[in-house]
Structure formats: C-alpha cells, structure tokens
Structure 1
Amino acid sequence: MADNKQPNQKSANEKSKDPKKGRIVIFSSIVVIILIAAIAAMIFSNLHNNEAKPKKKQPTHRTEQMTRIDYTGQPFIGSSNAPVKVVEFADYRCPYCKEFEENVIPDLEKDYIKTGKISLYFINDPILGPGSVLAANASEEVYHQNPKAFWAFHKAVYDAQKSEKEQWVTKKLLTTIAKKTVPSIDIKAFQNALDTKSRQNEVDKDTSLADSLGVPGTPVLFVGDQMIENGQDYTVLKKAIDKALAENK
C-alpha cells in the first residue's frame, strides 16, 4: 500500500525562509557593530580633543600663596621705597579699566602715592583681541624708550578709548598719541615696534604672569601678592591697602 503522506508543508516553508532570516540577522549584526564603532570613535575623539586643549588653571589658595609678582621692568608711579605695592592688570580696550583710570587712580594718588605709602604698578593683560595686543606693544615700546613718559602715553590711550565694539586701536592713532605725549620718542623705532611686534616678548611675560596668578579678567588689583576681589571699587581697595600698611609697620 503506497504511502499517501504529503511532505510536511510547514517544515518546507521554514526551510525556504531560513536564508532570508540569516541575512537579516547578519545585516542587523553589522549595523550594531558599525554603531558601536562610531560611538567608540566619538568617545576617543572627545578625549583626544580635551587632551589637546588644556584648560586654563583656576586659581587656588595654594597657587595664590606660592606665586609672587615680579615687579622688575614694570612701569610704576610713586616711591620705589613705598612699603606697599599695588598692581593693576589691565587692557587698554577695557571700559572698566578706563573707569578705574579716571575715577580711582586720582584718589590713590592723593591718599597714598603722593604720601609715599604705596607704589602703583601697571601690567598689561590684553584679553580683548588684536587691538589690545597692539596697544600693549605700543606701551611697552614707549616704556622701553622713555619710562618717565610712559604714564602720559598710558593716560592718552585711555582718553582715546571708544566703544568695545569698535576696532579703534590703530597704528596711526598710537603713533599720533606717541608724538604728542613723548616728544623725544624715536618715531621710526616706535613704528617698527608696531609693525613687527618687537615688544611681544614683554607682553607675553605679562600675560603669563597674569595666568599664573589666576587673573580672571580686567581690571584686577593686587595689594602685595594678594588679589583683591572687587578691587576696582575704591572703598574695597582702600580697606585692603590700609590693612597691608598696618601689617608692614
């Protein structure tokens, strides 16, 4: 008697579908592997970028205590024998620095500088772009040629300050100011300093000092080696100076 059994249709169908399922599984696996590889690459890239761009160190109590200000070669007014040194880190394009120049320095001169109690130092910290760097180079060249004339030039640059949004610092303007405030200046050497940034090493030295001290912006004031928070406020600065004077008796 012949076997009338029909082939198992379900098994046959499943067998016919197996290759397709296999391809789907393989394709899905490839996609997953690609995604994992992409994620791994992104993580590695981020880690590499973070390593390639070192973050500026934030000031700590320890670094503030260990870092000392080198006053050598920095312009100052007042007696070199004054018991307390006050330092301003500033940018010629900074409007708050201009306010300090106009509103606070006259009081400092009257109360402390002319009386021989403090000497006031100025250190460049050009943070507002190429114009700031150019003005800093100009001030360094003036100081190099004629230290006594530095402050007249310094004040005139602040007097010429315009909006922070304007690129008002130009070689022509700085040359005009130098001719007016420093009659004895070697103008060719001054212009060459602007063209070649021959005083950039001095500017870099200033900015490196500012970074090592954790100077967060401009203007920033130090009394001795101590950064004074809100030191551009004369009341705050006066209190810090009086304290330092008392400690130096």
Structure 2
Amino acid sequence: MTGSTGSTPSPSPSRRNRRRTVTAAAILTAAAVTAAFALTLDGSDDREEKAGEPAAVTGSAAPAPADESLLALARRDASDPLAVGRADAPVVLIEYSDFQCPFCGRFARTTKPELLRSYVDKGILRIEWRNFPIFGEESEQAALAGWAAGRQKKFWEFHDVAYGKPRERNSGAFDAENLIAMAREAGVADIERFQADMASDRARSAVRADQEEGYNLGVTSTPAFLVNGKPILGAQPTATFEDAVETAADTAEAAGR
C-alpha cells in the first residue's frame, strides 16, 4: 500500500516477505556452500546415494548466524500436533523431513530420542516437524498420512512407526494398505476418519505450505534443520545437535528470551 501523494511509499507486505525470504535463502545457501567444502560421507552400508539424492553430512554445523526472519518461522502453537515440547521453550528445532529419507530415519531412531530425553523433557527444546516430501508419490502419501494421524493426536506415534526400521524407497512400503497398517499400529482409533483426513484438501494444503516454506529457504534435500534460526544440514552426529541446542539456550538466556 502506498502513502498519500508526496509521501514516500512504504514497502508492501509482499515486498517485505520477499526480502525476508531472500535473506533466509542467502543464509542457508551460504551454509550449504560451507558444508560442501568439508563434506564427509557417512561410512555405513546404507549411504549409497544416487545422483541428486541427499548425502549424509558429518562434522560440525556450518557457521551461520541466526536471523530474525528464521527465528520467526517457529510457529510455537501449543495445539500443533506435529510439534513436541513446550510452546515457550527457549529453543525451537524445526525439522524438514521426508518419511522415505533414510537419513531422516537415522535421525529419528538415534538422535531424536536423545534430544527428547535431554532437552524436550526438561523444557529446554521444542521440536516442530515440517513435511518435506521429495521422493515421489509414496513420500507425498506418507506426509498426508502423518498429518491425518496428527488430527487424532497420534502424529508422533505414526512418526515412530514409519521410521521404526529402514524401508526401501518407492517399493510399496508406503502404499495405502501399509499406511493404514501403520496408523493402526500407532494407535489411530478412527481409521475411516484417518482416510478421509488424508484425502482432504486441508491435508494437501498443510503439506504444500510446509514444502513451500522449505523451498523458500533454499532447502533441497532432507533432513534439514533450523535450531533457533541456525541451519544444520544433513545427517549430523547427535553431538552436533546437542551443541547447537545448548548454544541456542545460552544465547536465549543472555537475550532474556
């Protein structure tokens, strides 16, 4: 909206949003470039990536300062079923993940339980999930299923079942029948409602909004994380996340947040 005749026009909301997006993307892009120079592939058996697929990154997080526009991405909605931890926790970890991503699965099985015990349960950390399906139709359907499970407050139970073991991508492991079986195992009580929610426009809009948020930041592979606005890219060791959370907590305390 412009001001009256003769006054200096103020930036429109869309321009401000674009400026924030450019700033955020620049920070993440810089982090990706820094990480690329020190890229070390994980030595485990399941690290055989094809061209264009995400690699596991080890070592310390890329040094990038937190930015207010990135801090503002934390939704801090106490009723969000795709989040765990106090809404007013001093540290928020935002996770962009795909249920078919093997490195996301490794994070879910090894690092996340440690973060829950050491930080979430103590009120220091909140984890907010963002659906970022990148491996095709089964990834899309799994994201919709997770959102639908969340409508019955069973997202994290579904998350744990889906990531409970390595699954071959696009092999039918996340077809309709298996997703229903996962929902049942997760304790989703009303399967008819689950299927209806999964097929709803609201589910697709929610998944699309998460994807667009990630793409606007420059996320191109999974997993990708923000810890109080500081990016961590790839499958980092648990210690990297612990260091990031503790540093963010100290910074938040010093800032009086």
TM beyond 0.5: yes
Distance 2:103 2:236 in 1: 8
Which residue does 2:193 correspond to in 1?
189
2:120 to 93, 113, 130: 113
Structure 2: gaps of 5 or more residues: 1-21, 30-65
Which residue does 1:164 correspond to in 2?
169
Distance 1:220 1:207 in 2: 12
2:93 to 77, 86, 89: 86
Distance 1:193 1:80 in 2: 25
Which residue does 1:177 correspond to in 2?
182
Report how many aligned residue pairs link the two structures.
190
Structure with greater contact order relative to length (CA < 8 Å, sep ≥ 6): 2
Q: Secondary structure at the match of 1:201?
A: helix
1:239 to 238, 243, 249: 243
Q: Would you say the 8 A contact 1:86–1:120 is kept in 2?
A: yes
Offset at 1:229? 3.8
Offset at 1:194? 3.9
The amino acid of 2:101's aligned partner reads C
Which residue does 1:60 correspond to in 2?
26
Offset at 1:61? 2.9
- Name which one, 1 or 2, has greater alpha-carbon Rg: 1
1:24-66 Cα deviation digits (max 9, x unpaired) = xxxxxxxxxxxxxxxxxxxxxxxxxxxxxxxxx8931399833
Moved more, 217-226 or 159-168: 159-168
RMSD: 2.4
Residues 1-249 of structure 1 correspond to what in structure 2 (within 5 A)?
Answer: 59-61=25-27, 65=67, 66-67=69-70, 68-71=72-75, 72=77, 73=80, 75-144=82-151, 146-147=152-153, 149-159=154-164, 161-164=166-169, 166-184=171-189, 186-195=190-199, 198-230=202-234, 232-249=236-253
The amino acid of 2:146's aligned partner reads S
The amino acid of 1:182's aligned partner reads G
In structure 2, relative to structure 1, the CA distance for the partners of 1:230 and 1:141 (3 Å cut) is: closer
Between Structure 1 and Structure 2, which shows a larger proportion of helix residues? 1
Q: Would you say the 8 A contact 2:84–2:127 is kept in 1?
A: yes
Distance 2:100 2:188 in 1: 24
TM-score normalised by the chain length of structure 1: 0.69
Q: Would you say the 8 A contact 1:126–1:136 is kept in 2?
A: yes
1:95-114 Cα deviation digits (max 9, x unpaired) = 00010001101111121111
Identity of matched residues, % = 24
Distance 1:92 1:244 in 2: 27
Structure 1: gaps of 5 or more residues: 1-56
